[in-house]
Amino acid sequence: MSPLAIVLWSLLFFAILYVVIETAVRRGIDSSETNELLRELVEIHRNQSNKSAS
């Protein structure tokens, strides 16, 4: 196998690995309790901002 083929296969492997890991991390963050708490805090903050602006 030529060095160019090894480099190309490696790049393809790492690109696929990056996509898989990035997707798994995003799903993990989206389903975490911390994310839920932050969403609730942002919603409370928006509601308080809307009340004070009215």
Predicted confidence band of residue 11 (pLDDT cuts 50, 70, 90): very high
Q: Is the pLDDT of residue 30 over 90?
A: no
- Written as six digits, the tokens of 21 are 């890991």
Contact 23, 17 (CB under 8 A): no
pTM above 0.75, yes or no: no
- DSSP strands (E only) in the chain: none
Predicted confidence band of residue 37 (pLDDT cuts 50, 70, 90): very high
Contact 7, 1 (CB under 8 A): no
